[in-house]
């Protein structure tokens, strides 16, 4: 496959993953958490890089695409760990609060201040893997495609 073909494939991959996330949100009604939203930004960057790389074949652009795909893959791994309680997530979207020894007023304040969608609970899974896990896997494949494009000679 040509360099342009690989760039197109990698760009299309990010379009598909970002489009899938948006479809789950707007068609499926699954609201994204904070970490879900963070995983979308590198895909948008990779798409922009891909469009530019298809017009201007600078050698550095596929490496930048690989970096964007690696960023969203890394975020997916981190989010998966948060969902599986392997490590703590950001305080803004997880809850480790215990209710013992807390007043009803403080508990109510905590509940009202809590985000609607928690990062430490998978909203959807397939084959025991959440959307964050699938994003990590597919984005890692995109990293390889981007690297293949970067290493391809004309």
Fold of 3-90+119-151: Bromodomain-like (1.20.1550)
The angle formed by the CA atoms of residues 87, 90 and 95, to the nearest 5 degrees, is 80
For 123-146, write each residue's pLDDT tens digit: 888 999 999 999 999 999 999 999
* Helix 60-83 / helix 34-55 crossing angle, nearest 10 deg: 170
Domain spans of the chain, in order of start = 3-90+119-151
Per-residue model confidence as pLDDT tens digits over 85-121:
899 888 777 655 555 677 778 777 776 766 567 778 8
Please name the residue that has the structure tokens 């009202």: 112
Q: How confident is the model at residue 5 (pLDDT cuts 50, 70, 90)?
A: very high
* pLDDT confidence of residue 154: 62
């Amino acid at each position: 496959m040509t360099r342009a073909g690989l760039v197109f494939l990698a760009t299309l991959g990010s379009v598909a993953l970002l489009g899938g996330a948006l479809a789950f949100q707007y068609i499926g009604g699954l609201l994204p958490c904070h970490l879900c939203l963070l995983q979308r930004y590198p895909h948008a960057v990779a798409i922009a890089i891909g469009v530019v790389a298809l017009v201007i074949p600078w050698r550095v652009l596929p490496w930048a695409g690989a970096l964007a795909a690696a960023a969203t893959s890394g975020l997916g791994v981190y989010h998966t760990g948060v969902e599986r309680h392997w490590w703590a997530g950001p305080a803004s979207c997880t809850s480790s609060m215990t209710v013992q020894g807390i007043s009803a007023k403080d508990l109510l304040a905590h509940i009202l201040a809590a985000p609607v969608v928690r990062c430490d609970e998978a909203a959807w899974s397939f084959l025991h893997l959440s959307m964050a896990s699938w994003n990590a896997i597919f984005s890692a494949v995109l990293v390889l495609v981007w690297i293949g494009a970067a290493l391809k000679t004309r």
